[in-house]
Amino acid sequence: MNIGIPKEKRPFEFRVGMIPAGVQMLIQQGHVCYVEHDAGLAAGFSDPEYQKVGARIVYSPEEAFGRADLLLKVTRPLYTELEWIQPGAIIAGLLHLAATKQDKIELLKSMNLTMVAYEQIKLPDGTVPVRRPLSQIGAALAAQIAAHQMQNDAGGKGMLLGGIESVAQAEVVIIGAGVFGSFATRAFVGMGARVTVLDTNMDALNRIYSQYPCVGTMMAYPHNIARACEKADVVVAAVLVPGERPPIVVTRDMVMAMKPHSLIMDISIDEGGCVETSRLTTHENPTFVQEGVIHYCVPNIPSVVAQTSSIAILNAAFPFIDQIANKGIDEAVSSNPAIELGTALLHGKVKHLVSMLPGKG
C-alpha cells in the first residue's frame, strides 16, 4: 500500500499519525510511506529520522494525502483536507465521528471512504486498546491541570489540591470509573486530594475501592451526582460510550448549585460532552466561566505531550494498522472483530457510526 502520514492541521494538535519506528516496520513489509515535511517535528521526530528508515518526504499536504491508499492521522480530516484525498481511500485515526456534522458524514460517504476510528476498536473483553494509553496520559495530565486551574493566577479559588496539616484538601469528584477515571483517581489521590468516584457499574466501583480504600464510591444516580457536585471543588466528568455521544450526566441545575469558582473538567467533550454547560475550548484558551463555575473543555488533552502520545498511538494501534495494510481493509474487517467494530464507514457505507447534529466539524 501507499501510506500517507500528513502533518496535522488542527490547532494545538502536535501529535503525528505514525512515528519513525512504525514507518520502518511498514516499509520493511513492502509498503511505501509518504511523510509530509515536518509532520513529526512537534512530537520530536525530524524528517531525517523518517528518511533514515526509508520514508519519502513530500513537501505539500496535497501530495501526502493524494498519494495515499491508507492515511494514518491523529484527528479526522478538515474540510479542506478532504479535497486532497483520493476517493476510496482508508483513513485511520482518532476520528470521533460521533461528534462531527452530518454534512461532513455525507461527504465522507460520497467519496467512498473507509474510516477506521481507533477509539472504537474494541477487544472481546470489552477493552478499547488504542484509547486506553491515551486515557492514561490524559488522566495524569488532568490532575496537574486541575491543580493549576485552582490557583488564583489561573482564575481559580486559590486552593491547594492536597491541603496541608491544618487546612483541608480539595474535594474532587470523578464521574466515570473507566480507564480515565481509574487513572485520574490514582493521580488525584497521589496529589493528596479527597476523592469520590461515581459510576453505574458496581464492579468498576469495587475495583476503585479495593485499590484505594481512602476513596469514596457512589452509584452514579442523578441524585448522587447532584449531591457530590454540590460539595466538590473539582468535578472530572469522564463518561464514554464508544462510537456514540455520551449522555448528559451533569445538568445546568447541578452546575448552578456548585460552589463559586469550582472547576469542571468535561473529559467527554471530544465526543460531544457530558456536562450540559460545556462547550469546546482549546489549549490556548482552555477555560470559560458558566454559572459561576470554571469549565475546562479541551478535547485533545494528550496533544501537549505529543512525543509520549505519538509513541503510545504506535504501540497500541500498530497491530491493527499492520493487518489493514497487509490484508487489505475487507479481509482485516472480516477476520478481526476489533477492527470491524472500529470501522465507522466501509467503502462509503455506514458500518459502526452514530452521528448527530449539531457537530463539531
Q: Which residue reads 461527504 in cell numbers? A: 107
Q: Which residue in the list 47, 233, 266, 270 is annotated as catalytic?
A: 270
**Residue 290 burial class via C-beta count within 10 angstroms: exposed 0-12, middle 13-18, buried 19 and up:** middle
How far apart CA 348 and CA 273 sit, in angstroms, is 27
- C-alpha angle 62-328-40 in degrees, rounded to nearest 5: 40
How far apart CA 114 and CA 67 sit, in angstroms, is 16
DSSP-derived pairing of the beta strands 2-5 and 32-36 = parallel
**What's the 3-state SS for 194-233?**
EEEEEECCHHHHHHHHHHCCCCEEEECCHHHHHHHHHHCC
Q: Annotated catalytic, 37?
A: no
Phi-psi region of 173 (alpha: psi -120 to 50; beta: other; left: phi over 0): beta
- C-alpha angle 130-135-140 in degrees, rounded to nearest 5: 140
Helices within 89-235 (DSSP H only): 102-110, 131-149, 179-190, 202-211, 222-231
DSSP letters spanning 2-53: EEEEPPP-STT----SS-HHHHHHHHHTT-EEEEETTTTGGGT--HHHHHHT
Residues linked to residue 199 through DSSP beta bridges, in sequence order: 219
Inter-CA distances, 300 with 55, 316, 324, Å: 27, 17, 25
Is the previous residue joined to 213 through a cis bond, with omega within 30 degrees of 0? no
Q: Which residue in the list 96, 261, 295, 352 is annotated as catalytic?
A: 96
Q: Annotated catalytic, 153?
A: no
| Cα-based torsion angle of the residue sequence 330, 331, 334, 336 in order, rounded to the nearest 10 degrees | -120
Closest CA to 140 of 210, 191, 204: 191
Q: Phi first, then psi: what are they for 242, rounded to 5°?
A: -50, 125
Catalytic residue set: 96, 270
